[in-house]
Each structure stands twice: as C-alpha cells, then as structure tokens.
C-alpha cells in the first residue's frame, strides 16, 4: 500500500528566489521539488520532535530520548541533595579559609 502525499502550490514567488532554489538543488544533486521538500522538512524538524515526545515528560527525559540508541548504556545517577562546593583554583586566595573546602560566598553586603 502506497502512502498518499499532499501537494502544495506556492504562488507569487520572486524569480530570484526560484533561481536561487534551483541553484541550491543543483549544488545538492537534487531536483527543485526534492530540494524544497528537504528545506520544508528541516524547517519543521524541531516541531516534529516535540510532537514525537510523550506529553508531560521533563527535560531530562526528552534529552535521554533524543540520544537513545547511540551506544551509551550506563545509568546516570541523580545528584539531588548533594552539597555543591565552588571550584578551587590554584591562585584563589579564598581556598581553605572556611575549612573543609567550604568557602563562603562574598556578596556586596558581607564586606
């Protein structure tokens, strides 16, 4: 069984735009209709991906779904509830002053 495809007619397109599309199609080794289909698919690709994601899923799930099947199989643990420490740099004068690697953040009020 063959799939039915829709047809779109575009009127009042500038001759310069049509000429540029023809050149682009030739550069990519495609016919003009094939090139236009490729451009239209690329234009709505993000919308198609959003529709393919199940509703109500969070960002992390959507990212995991996008990269699923590319060979990364290890489980990634969640990092909720961990204490976050600022990075230590060699020339940072604040390193170690607060003890146990915890450095208080200076604000304009705590001078």
Residue 48 lies in a domain: yes
Which is more confidently placed, 111 or 82? 82
Give the count of domains, the chain. Answer: 1
Range of the domain at 56: 15-66
In this structure, the dihedral spanned by the alpha carbons of residues 42, 48, 50 and 53, taken in order and rounded to 10 degrees, is -130
pLDDT-derived band at 110 (thresholds 50, 70, 90) equals very low
Residue 107 lies in a domain: no
Q: Are 62 and 56 in contact (CB under 8 A)?
A: no
42-68 mean pLDDT: 74
Residue 57 lies in a domain: yes
Average pLDDT over the chain reads 77
The model's pTM is: 0.44
Residue 78 lies in a domain: no
- How confident is the model over 63-96, as pLDDT tens digits? 777 788 887 777 777 777 777 778 877 776 655 5
100-109 mean pLDDT: 54
Residue 36 lies in a domain: yes
Residue 99 lies in a domain: no
pLDDT score for 38: 94
Residue 71 lies in a domain: no
């Amino acid at each position: 069984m063959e799939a039915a495809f829709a047809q779109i007619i575009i009127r009042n397109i500038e001759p310069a735009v049509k000429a540029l599309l023809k050149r682009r199609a030739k550069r990519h080794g495609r016919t003009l209709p094939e090139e236009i289909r490729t451009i239209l698919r690329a234009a709505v690709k993000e919308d198609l991906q959003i529709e393919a994601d199940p509703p109500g899923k969070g960002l992390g799930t959507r990212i995991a779904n996008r990269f699923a099947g590319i060979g990364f199989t290890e489980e990634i643990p969640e990092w909720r509830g961990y204490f976050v420490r600022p990075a230590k740099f060699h020339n940072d004068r604040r390193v170690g002053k607060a003890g146990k690697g915890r450095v208080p953040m200076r604000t304009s009020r705590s001078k």
